[in-house]
Amino acid sequence: MLFLRLKNIGMMTRLSVNINKIATLRNSRGGNMPDVLKAAADCERFGAEGITVHPRPDERHIRYSDVRAIRPIITTELNIEGNPIPKFIDLVNEVRPAQVTLVPDAEDAITSNAGWDTIKNHGFLSEVCKEFKNNGIRTSIFIDPSPVMAEGAAKCGCDRVELYTESYASGYRADRQAAIAPYIKAATAAKEAGIGLNAGHDLNLENLEFFIRTIPWTDEVSIGHAIICDALYMGLEQTIRAYLSKVKIF
Protein backbone atom coordinates (compact mmCIF):
# COMPACT_ATOMS: atom_id res chain seq x y z
CA MET A 1 0.00 0.00 0.00
CA LEU A 2 2.83 2.40 0.83
CA PHE A 3 4.52 1.61 -2.50
CA LEU A 4 1.33 2.34 -4.42
CA ARG A 5 0.83 5.61 -2.56
CA LEU A 6 4.37 6.76 -3.32
CA LYS A 7 3.99 5.70 -6.95
CA ASN A 8 0.82 7.73 -7.32
CA ILE A 9 2.41 10.77 -5.72
CA GLY A 10 5.24 10.50 -8.22
CA MET A 11 2.76 10.54 -11.12
CA MET A 12 0.79 13.56 -9.93
CA THR A 13 -0.23 15.83 -12.80
CA ARG A 14 0.83 19.47 -12.75
CA LEU A 15 -1.44 22.37 -13.71
CA SER A 16 0.04 25.09 -15.93
CA VAL A 17 -2.19 28.13 -16.44
CA ASN A 18 -2.15 29.76 -19.86
CA ILE A 19 -2.51 33.52 -19.41
CA ASN A 20 -2.98 34.49 -23.08
CA LYS A 21 -6.63 35.48 -22.58
CA ILE A 22 -5.63 37.94 -19.86
CA ALA A 23 -3.31 39.61 -22.36
CA THR A 24 -6.10 39.62 -24.97
CA LEU A 25 -8.32 41.58 -22.59
CA ARG A 26 -5.51 44.04 -21.83
CA ASN A 27 -4.73 44.57 -25.49
CA SER A 28 -8.38 45.25 -26.34
CA ARG A 29 -8.23 48.61 -24.54
CA GLY A 30 -4.54 49.46 -24.41
CA GLY A 31 -2.81 50.39 -21.19
CA ASN A 32 -2.02 47.77 -18.60
CA MET A 33 -5.37 46.58 -17.29
CA PRO A 34 -5.42 43.76 -16.43
CA ASP A 35 -1.76 43.53 -15.50
CA VAL A 36 -0.38 40.40 -17.14
CA LEU A 37 2.65 40.21 -14.85
CA LYS A 38 0.49 40.45 -11.73
CA ALA A 39 -1.84 37.83 -13.15
CA ALA A 40 1.06 35.42 -13.69
CA ALA A 41 2.31 35.95 -10.15
CA ASP A 42 -1.21 35.62 -8.73
CA CYS A 43 -1.84 32.36 -10.60
CA GLU A 44 1.24 30.89 -8.97
CA ARG A 45 0.24 32.30 -5.59
CA PHE A 46 -3.14 30.64 -5.96
CA GLY A 47 -1.54 27.26 -6.60
CA ALA A 48 -0.71 27.02 -10.32
CA GLU A 49 2.39 24.91 -10.84
CA GLY A 50 3.40 26.61 -14.04
CA ILE A 51 2.60 29.49 -16.37
CA THR A 52 2.08 28.98 -20.09
CA VAL A 53 2.35 31.71 -22.72
CA HIS A 54 1.89 31.44 -26.47
CA PRO A 55 3.27 34.51 -28.24
CA ARG A 56 2.19 34.78 -31.85
CA PRO A 57 3.98 36.82 -34.52
CA ASP A 58 1.28 39.55 -34.54
CA GLU A 59 1.41 39.75 -30.70
CA ARG A 60 -2.39 39.94 -30.53
CA HIS A 61 -2.33 38.64 -26.97
CA ILE A 62 0.96 37.76 -25.22
CA ARG A 63 3.73 39.99 -26.53
CA TYR A 64 7.37 39.03 -26.83
CA SER A 65 8.12 41.76 -24.29
CA ASP A 66 5.65 40.11 -21.89
CA VAL A 67 7.55 36.85 -22.10
CA ARG A 68 10.81 38.59 -21.24
CA ALA A 69 9.19 40.38 -18.31
CA ILE A 70 7.41 37.31 -16.96
CA ARG A 71 10.46 35.06 -16.88
CA PRO A 72 12.17 36.64 -13.82
CA ILE A 73 9.03 36.54 -11.68
CA ILE A 74 8.10 32.90 -12.30
CA THR A 75 8.86 30.73 -9.29
CA THR A 76 7.62 27.40 -10.69
CA GLU A 77 7.90 26.68 -14.43
CA LEU A 78 7.48 28.81 -17.53
CA ASN A 79 6.23 27.02 -20.65
CA ILE A 80 6.50 28.91 -23.94
CA GLU A 81 4.36 27.58 -26.78
CA GLY A 82 4.63 28.51 -30.41
CA ASN A 83 5.59 27.77 -33.97
CA PRO A 84 9.41 27.62 -34.08
CA ILE A 85 9.92 30.36 -36.64
CA PRO A 86 13.31 32.12 -36.34
CA LYS A 87 12.23 34.95 -34.01
CA PHE A 88 10.41 32.48 -31.75
CA ILE A 89 13.53 30.32 -31.53
CA ASP A 90 15.58 33.41 -30.67
CA LEU A 91 13.11 34.39 -27.94
CA VAL A 92 13.14 30.95 -26.35
CA ASN A 93 16.94 30.75 -26.39
CA GLU A 94 17.11 34.20 -24.82
CA VAL A 95 14.52 33.60 -22.09
CA ARG A 96 15.45 29.97 -21.31
CA PRO A 97 12.10 28.72 -19.98
CA ALA A 98 11.75 25.38 -18.22
CA GLN A 99 9.85 24.06 -21.24
CA VAL A 100 9.15 24.95 -24.85
CA THR A 101 6.17 23.43 -26.67
CA LEU A 102 6.44 23.32 -30.45
CA VAL A 103 3.08 24.04 -32.10
CA PRO A 104 2.54 24.14 -35.89
CA ASP A 105 0.00 26.96 -35.89
CA ALA A 106 -0.27 29.31 -38.84
CA GLU A 107 0.28 33.02 -38.24
CA ASP A 108 -3.41 33.78 -38.83
CA ALA A 109 -4.78 30.90 -36.73
CA ILE A 110 -7.25 31.99 -34.06
CA THR A 111 -6.01 29.17 -31.83
CA SER A 112 -4.01 25.98 -32.25
CA ASN A 113 -5.98 23.57 -34.42
CA ALA A 114 -3.71 20.63 -35.29
CA GLY A 115 -0.62 18.80 -34.17
CA TRP A 116 2.64 18.18 -36.00
CA ASP A 117 3.16 15.47 -38.55
CA THR A 118 6.28 14.23 -36.82
CA ILE A 119 7.17 11.91 -39.69
CA LYS A 120 7.15 14.47 -42.50
CA ASN A 121 8.78 17.10 -40.29
CA HIS A 122 11.30 14.80 -38.64
CA GLY A 123 14.40 16.62 -39.87
CA PHE A 124 13.20 20.09 -38.90
CA LEU A 125 11.82 19.06 -35.50
CA SER A 126 14.98 17.11 -34.69
CA GLU A 127 17.13 20.17 -35.33
CA VAL A 128 14.91 22.42 -33.21
CA CYS A 129 14.72 19.93 -30.34
CA LYS A 130 18.49 19.51 -30.37
CA GLU A 131 19.07 23.27 -30.22
CA PHE A 132 16.69 23.81 -27.32
CA LYS A 133 17.90 20.78 -25.39
CA ASN A 134 21.50 21.95 -25.80
CA ASN A 135 20.38 25.10 -23.98
CA GLY A 136 18.88 23.09 -21.14
CA ILE A 137 15.25 23.58 -22.18
CA ARG A 138 12.79 20.70 -21.95
CA THR A 139 11.11 20.20 -25.33
CA SER A 140 7.55 19.11 -26.01
CA ILE A 141 5.94 18.53 -29.41
CA PHE A 142 2.22 19.22 -29.91
CA ILE A 143 0.58 16.24 -31.65
CA ASP A 144 -2.81 14.82 -32.54
CA PRO A 145 -3.79 11.67 -30.59
CA SER A 146 -1.91 9.21 -32.80
CA PRO A 147 0.53 6.49 -31.65
CA VAL A 148 2.47 6.94 -34.88
CA MET A 149 2.89 10.68 -34.24
CA ALA A 150 3.95 9.98 -30.63
CA GLU A 151 6.56 7.49 -31.77
CA GLY A 152 7.72 9.92 -34.46
CA ALA A 153 8.04 12.71 -31.88
CA ALA A 154 10.22 10.52 -29.69
CA LYS A 155 12.50 9.88 -32.66
CA CYS A 156 12.86 13.66 -33.05
CA GLY A 157 14.56 13.77 -29.65
CA CYS A 158 11.89 15.60 -27.67
CA ASP A 159 11.35 15.09 -23.96
CA ARG A 160 7.54 15.08 -24.08
CA VAL A 161 4.55 15.30 -26.35
CA GLU A 162 1.48 17.41 -25.73
CA LEU A 163 -1.73 15.77 -26.88
CA TYR A 164 -4.13 18.12 -28.67
CA THR A 165 -7.33 17.42 -26.73
CA GLU A 166 -9.94 19.29 -28.78
CA SER A 167 -11.56 16.14 -30.18
CA TYR A 168 -11.69 14.59 -26.71
CA ALA A 169 -13.41 17.66 -25.31
CA SER A 170 -15.89 17.97 -28.18
CA GLY A 171 -16.85 14.29 -27.95
CA TYR A 172 -16.88 13.99 -24.17
CA ARG A 173 -20.59 14.49 -23.52
CA ALA A 174 -21.76 12.16 -26.28
CA ASP A 175 -19.44 9.24 -25.38
CA ARG A 176 -16.49 9.89 -23.16
CA GLN A 177 -15.08 6.38 -23.55
CA ALA A 178 -15.02 6.69 -27.32
CA ALA A 179 -13.64 10.23 -27.06
CA ILE A 180 -10.69 9.22 -24.95
CA ALA A 181 -9.87 5.93 -26.70
CA PRO A 182 -7.37 7.38 -29.22
CA TYR A 183 -5.72 9.35 -26.42
CA ILE A 184 -5.08 6.20 -24.42
CA LYS A 185 -3.34 4.68 -27.44
CA ALA A 186 -1.23 7.76 -28.11
CA ALA A 187 -0.37 8.22 -24.42
CA THR A 188 0.64 4.58 -24.14
CA ALA A 189 2.84 4.89 -27.21
CA ALA A 190 4.54 7.94 -25.71
CA LYS A 191 5.16 6.12 -22.44
CA GLU A 192 6.56 3.08 -24.24
CA ALA A 193 8.82 5.37 -26.27
CA GLY A 194 10.24 6.77 -23.05
CA ILE A 195 8.96 10.32 -23.29
CA GLY A 196 6.70 12.36 -21.00
CA LEU A 197 3.11 13.38 -21.60
CA ASN A 198 1.34 16.74 -21.54
CA ALA A 199 -2.18 17.58 -22.67
CA GLY A 200 -4.09 20.70 -23.56
CA HIS A 201 -6.87 22.43 -25.49
CA ASP A 202 -10.49 22.73 -24.36
CA LEU A 203 -9.92 20.82 -21.13
CA ASN A 204 -12.28 22.12 -18.46
CA LEU A 205 -13.89 21.33 -15.11
CA GLU A 206 -16.32 18.92 -16.73
CA ASN A 207 -13.90 16.72 -18.67
CA LEU A 208 -10.54 17.12 -16.95
CA GLU A 209 -10.83 14.62 -14.10
CA PHE A 210 -11.89 11.75 -16.36
CA PHE A 211 -8.88 12.37 -18.59
CA ILE A 212 -6.48 12.27 -15.65
CA ARG A 213 -8.10 9.21 -14.08
CA THR A 214 -7.91 7.36 -17.38
CA ILE A 215 -4.36 8.48 -18.26
CA PRO A 216 -2.79 9.00 -14.82
CA TRP A 217 0.75 9.27 -16.17
CA THR A 218 -0.08 12.67 -17.67
CA ASP A 219 2.74 14.96 -16.48
CA GLU A 220 1.07 18.30 -17.13
CA VAL A 221 -2.07 19.94 -18.43
CA SER A 222 -2.01 23.45 -19.87
CA ILE A 223 -5.34 25.26 -19.57
CA GLY A 224 -6.19 28.87 -20.30
CA HIS A 225 -9.48 29.70 -21.99
CA ALA A 226 -11.68 27.62 -19.68
CA ILE A 227 -9.92 28.89 -16.55
CA ILE A 228 -10.43 32.52 -17.52
CA CYS A 229 -14.09 31.86 -18.45
CA ASP A 230 -14.75 30.15 -15.10
CA ALA A 231 -12.90 32.91 -13.27
CA LEU A 232 -15.49 35.43 -14.46
CA TYR A 233 -17.99 33.71 -12.16
CA MET A 234 -15.84 32.02 -9.52
CA GLY A 235 -12.87 34.35 -9.23
CA LEU A 236 -9.35 33.41 -10.29
CA GLU A 237 -8.22 31.95 -6.98
CA GLN A 238 -11.25 29.70 -6.52
CA THR A 239 -11.08 28.62 -10.15
CA ILE A 240 -7.46 27.54 -9.94
CA ARG A 241 -8.23 25.62 -6.76
CA ALA A 242 -11.13 23.91 -8.53
CA TYR A 243 -8.89 22.84 -11.41
CA LEU A 244 -6.22 21.60 -9.03
CA SER A 245 -8.84 19.40 -7.37
CA LYS A 246 -9.44 17.74 -10.74
CA VAL A 247 -5.79 16.85 -11.31
CA LYS A 248 -4.73 16.00 -7.73
CA ILE A 249 -6.93 12.92 -7.49
CA PHE A 250 -4.44 10.18 -6.60
Active site residues: 54, 81, 201
Identify whether the C-beta of residue 201 lies closer than 8 Å to the C-beta of residue 166: yes
* Angstrom distance (rounded) from CA 166 to CA 1: 36
Q: Cβ contacts of residue 28 below 8 Å, gap of 6+?
A: none
CA angle 136, 137, 143 (to 5 degrees): 145
Identify whether the C-beta of residue 79 lies closer than 8 Å to the C-beta of residue 16: yes
Identify whether the C-beta of residue 142 lies closer than 8 Å to the C-beta of residue 103: yes
Mutual angle of helices 147-155 and 176-192, in 10-degree steps = 30
Give me the phi and psi of 147, to 5 degrees please. -60, -35
The three-state secondary structure class of 119 is: coil
Mutual angle of helices 147-155 and 122-134, in 10-degree steps = 50
The three-state secondary structure class of 172 is: coil
* Angstrom distance (rounded) from CA 165 to CA 152: 18
